[in-house]
Structures are given as C-alpha cells and as structure tokens.
Amino acid sequence: MIALLCALLEIWAGPEVAARRIGFRDRLTPGLAGWQSGAQPLFRIDVLAHPTHGLPVIDDVGFFGWYARSLVKSQTLTADGSLGFSTQQIAWEAGARYRLVIDGEERGAASIAYGSLRSDFDGPGIGGVLLPAGTLQYWRPGVEVRVPIGRVALFGGAGWLAPVRQDAVGAAFPRSSSGGLDAILRAEMELGGFFLRGAVRYMRFFYSLHPLPHDPYVAGGALDEVASASLALGYRL
C-alpha cells in the first residue's frame, strides 16, 4: 500500500475486495441469467481536497474522487451455477463534499457524487442467454457522521443511489424504474505521520422492470448488490 496525504489534501491507496450479485425476480424468460462473482481483488486510490480561501463556510467545501480496478479477472458463475466465465470490475466516484466542523473538529459531512460501476465479461460466447453486464452510472447524495476517539476516528455514512445509465439491467427493459441505497462504515487511525483506514460498503440497486407480454425478456424485477472491504494507507498535507 502506498499513499500521500495532507491537512487540505489527502491521498489514500490500498487493496480492496469486492463481490457482486445480480438476480431477477418473477422471471418468465429462460434466457435471463443472473450471476454472482467471487471475491475480486482490486487496487483503489482515493483523493480528497479542501481548497482554502480564508473564508468561513467556503473552506469547508471540498472535492473528492476514487478509482478502483480489478487486479486480475475473477471466476464468475450464473445464478444456477451452470455457466462460468471471468469478470473484471472497474468503479469510480467523483463529487463535492461539505464538512461540518464543530470546535475545530470535523463531526460530519454531506456530499453529492457521480459514480460508475462496470463489469466486463470474458469467456466463451453464450448464445441465447442475456447476462446483465456493462456500465451502471448513478448520482449519490449522501451524509456521514464522524466520531473521534483519541487517535481513532469512526465514520458511518449512507447514501441514495439514483441510476442514470443502466446497461447492466435496464438496457433490456426500457420501461424499468430503479433506485438504490448504500451504507459505509469506516475507521481511521493515526500512525506517526501516516493514517491507516479500513472500510466496508454495501450497495443495493433495485429495479421494477414493467415488461409487456410481447417483450423479448419478461421478469418482474431485479436486484444488483455489491459488497466490498478495503484497507488503505494515507498521508495528509
């Protein structure tokens, strides 16, 4: 793990492990195939910057972004375990963040971000089967609470996920409606001039597909879940 970090600029880097599962509810079309990945190892970089202008309120507005990519392709199976292939995951988020500072210490934050989650499949062609792959992009307004305990700080956050681009599921269901939510738990500890961070996140996208009888694919709904855990080393300037 490598990182460069600061008081107004933070850069974190380290490994992440993620698993993804997509399934259909009330599925009538045999060619619709959900899938579930194994644990995928990724490398992740996070950056947070708070530009200073010497102004109240304005100095508490910052900008952040992160990028994660699979180090290797992982083995993935359809939901019934009958077909196997490999998957690579690429994800990122970028946005703005307002931190709540009380008595000189950050106690919480509100943020708005735009994110992307993509799974690329590799393997033999599977004729007649729709595998929900591709890019899912979304807006994420969220809130976060920070609790300092000595050299350790605990964070808890939640966000609403509003899909914008839905290649993974929505491309086959043009009348579908969707939404989502996520939850994040994080702990940070100071280690000399560096910081150690551990985090877990759960993302859940849900779809109502609204098919018509003549559509090529018919199912009542779909669920797309991602669980991840990460460890990072950082440095603040």
Residues in the chain with pLDDT < 70?
1-7, 53-57, 75-84, 122-129, 131
Quick check: is 138 in a domain?
yes
Looking at residue 148, which CATH number applies to its domain? 2.40.128.90
Question: Tokens for 78?
Answer: 């359809």
- Residue 167 CA to residue 149 CA, distance in Å, equals 43
Per-residue model confidence (pLDDT) at position 5 = 40
Residue 51 sits in which domain range?
9-236
Closest C-alpha among 119, 36, 116, 33 to residue 73: 119
Quick check: is 2 in a domain?
no
Quick check: is 1 in a domain?
no
Quick check: is 139 in a domain?
yes
Number of domains in the chain: 1
Quick check: is 4 in a domain?
no
Compute φ and ψ for 45, nearest 5 degrees.
-125, 130
Per-residue model confidence (pLDDT) at position 129 = 66
Residues 171-197: b if buried by 16+ CB within 10 A, e if exposed: ebbeebebebebebebebeeeeeebbb
Per-residue model confidence (pLDDT) at position 87 = 79
190 pairs with which residues across the strands?
Answer: 195
Quick check: is 163 in a domain?
yes
Quick check: is 42 in a domain?
yes
- Residue 113 CA to residue 111 CA, distance in Å, equals 7
Per-residue model confidence (pLDDT) at position 101 = 86
Quick check: is 63 in a domain?
yes
- Residue 135 CA to residue 120 CA, distance in Å, equals 9
176-223: per-residue pLDDT in tens?
Answer: 899 999 999 999 998 888 999 999 999 999 999 998 888 888 889 999
pTM above 0.85, yes or no: yes
